Amino acid sequence: MKKEKAMLIDRYLAGEAPLHPERLVLPTDEELNETEIEFDQLMAERLQNTTPVRNARIISLWSWAAAACVLIIIGIGIILLWDKPSQPVKIVAKQKPAKTIVAPNAPSGNMLTPIEDHRDKPMNLAKVKQSVPKTPSREEERLDIPEIDIAAEVSDILANIDQLEQQIIVTNPQNNN
Amino acid sequence: MKAELFTSVVSRLRPRLLSIASSFDTVNAEDAVQEALMRLWTAWERLPEPADAERLAVRLTKYACITDYRRRQKQQTVELKDVAAMETTDTTDETVIQYALEQAVAALPPAERRLWTMHAEARMGIVQIAAASGISSRSVSTMLSSARHHICEILKKGDLL
């Protein structure tokens, strides 16, 4: 018994006794034609079924791309707005209005001493440079510094000076002479 | 046609057949091509021209794809034959051995199984198997001996050897 079994197995292992000889039988022309038609039909059906899926995939890809573009544009816009340098702020040192000084030897407390007029004197450039404020740093720029109207300030000062001059003239008419 | 011509024709034809089978079923494409080339080999001597062989190979590949597809469709609806039931109804030595060999071959790795099937079922030589599988002759002989070894081991475990 065992010998017979061993012989069968040996024949199979040697390739002399195939398990499925029907697998090697050539199909007839009719069978081949039939399967060829079925193959082509199935392939056509699959192609039809897969086409819309492909389109949907492409559309979804496009929508993703569009969304990504919008996000990128928004991001760039935010960065540009955030880093945009603020317009240079005009900072002018406030000049204190000329003080009215009461002369110590004046007959009455209301008497005022004349104030020197420096407008005709040559300017000391070194002092002017020191008085000019430095260009504001980036951090200073970000601070909320209110703008100062220089023209108004200067005109106020000049008006004050004129007033003082007139007062002096009124109080000490002999000086004018 | 001469057997020597098989290797050159099949080597040239194999990529085309594989692409046809892959377009139908990517997973089982290699099996379909192997099936088609086994049948082509059996009919080789009767074929007059290489062009006829090419035409037949394409048709056989499509045939293999469809028969495999039908078999799978059937498997989904019909339950597989119970092994125990088969053993009680038909217990001749030949059927038991055949069943054991089928199981042993099915347990082989896919590449080894394909080469072994070409050798054991279609009686193809190493050169023809190499041409049909796209593997070098040396690798084919190594894989065949490995497959033989695996089958013998499985049969020994089943107390058949």
Query: Are residues A101 and A153 located together in one domain of the fold?
Result: yes
A42 to B59: CB separation less than 8 angstroms, yes or no: no
B113 secondary structure, DSSP code: H
Query: Are residues B94 and B41 located together in one domain of the fold?
Result: no
Query: Are residues A96 and A174 located together in one domain of the fold?
Result: yes
With a CB cutoff of 8 Å and minimum separation 6, the contacts of B157 are none
Task: Provide the domain count of chain A.
Answer: 2
Distance from CA of A53 to the nearest CA of B (A): 17
Residue of A nearest to B32 (CA): A23
Query: Are residues A92 and A65 located together in one domain of the fold?
Result: no
pLDDT (tens digit per residue) in B113-161: 999 999 998 889 999 999 999 999 999 999 999 999 999 998 888 777 7
Strand partners, A61: none
CB contacts < 8 A (A, B) = 76
ipTM for the complex? 0.77
Residue-wise DSSP of B114-142: HHHHHHHTT---HHHHHHHHT--HHHHHH
B43 to A13: CB separation less than 8 angstroms, yes or no: no
Domain that includes residue B40, residue range = 1-80
Instruction: Tally DSSP H helices, then E strands, for chain B.
Output: 8, 0
Query: Are residues A110 and A152 located together in one domain of the fold?
Result: yes
Please list every residue in chain A whose beta carbon sits closer than 8 Å to the beta carbon of residue B28: none
> What's B112's domain CATH number?
1.10.10.10
Structure-token pair, residue B154: 């499985």
Domain that includes residue A106, residue range = 86-177
Query: Are residues B57 and B73 located together in one domain of the fold?
Result: yes
B38 to A23: CB separation less than 8 angstroms, yes or no: yes
The last residue of one of the domains, among B50, B80, B110, is B80
Gyration radius (Cα) of chain A, Å = 52
The residue-averaged pLDDT of A49-60 equals 63
> What's B7's domain CATH number?
1.10.1740
The last residue of one of the domains, among A41, A65, A83, is A83
Distance from CA of A77 to the nearest CA of B (A): 48
- As to burial, measured by CB atoms within 10 angstroms (0-12 exposed, 13-18 middle, 19+ buried), residue B35 is buried
pLDDT (tens digit per residue) in A88-128: 656 666 665 555 555 555 555 455 555 555 666 666 666 66
**Residue B6 CB coordination number (10 Å):** 24
Question: Are residues A171 and A112 in contact, defined by beta-carbon separation less than 8 angstroms?
Answer: yes
Query: Are residues A18 and A104 located together in one domain of the fold?
Result: no
Helix (H, G, I), strand (E, B) or coil at A102: strand
B97 to A39: CB separation less than 8 angstroms, yes or no: no
Q: What is the pTM of this model?
A: 0.56
B120 to A19: CB separation less than 8 angstroms, yes or no: yes
Query: Are residues A100 and A170 located together in one domain of the fold?
Result: yes
Structure-token pair, residue B49: 């021209």
Query: Are residues B75 and B85 located together in one domain of the fold?
Result: no
Reported as a pLDDT band with limits 50, 70 and 90, residue B80 is very low
Q: Is the dihedral of CA B60, B65, B68, B74 positive or negative?
A: negative
Query: Are residues B6 and B17 located together in one domain of the fold?
Result: yes
CA separation, residue A155 to residues A124, B11, B104 (Å): 22, 102, 110
Strand partners, A112: A102
Please list every residue in chain B whose beta carbon sits closer than 8 Å to the beta carbon of residue A42: 24, 66, 69
Q: Phi then psi for A105, rounded to 5 degrees?
A: -95, 15
Query: Are residues A65 and A96 located together in one domain of the fold?
Result: no
**Residue A152 CB coordination number (10 Å):** 9
The last residue of one of the domains, among A38, A61, A83, is A83
Query: Are residues B99 and B130 located together in one domain of the fold?
Result: yes
Among left, alpha and beta (phi > 0; psi -120 to 50; other), residue A147 is beta
Task: Provide the domain count of chain B.
Answer: 2
B148 to A13: CB separation less than 8 angstroms, yes or no: yes
> What mean pLDDT is reported for chain B?
86
B24 to A38: CB separation less than 8 angstroms, yes or no: no
The last residue of one of the domains, among B80, B98, B126, is B80
Query: Are residues A58 and A111 located together in one domain of the fold?
Result: no
Instruction: Report how far residue A10's alpha carbon sits from residue A19's, in angstroms, rounded to the nearest whole number.
Output: 13
pLDDT of residue B37: 93
Which residue among B93, B105, B121 places its CB closest to the CB of A24?
A: B121
Query: Are residues B27 and B89 located together in one domain of the fold?
Result: no
Which residue among A5, A18, A26 places its CB closest to the CB of B93?
A: A5
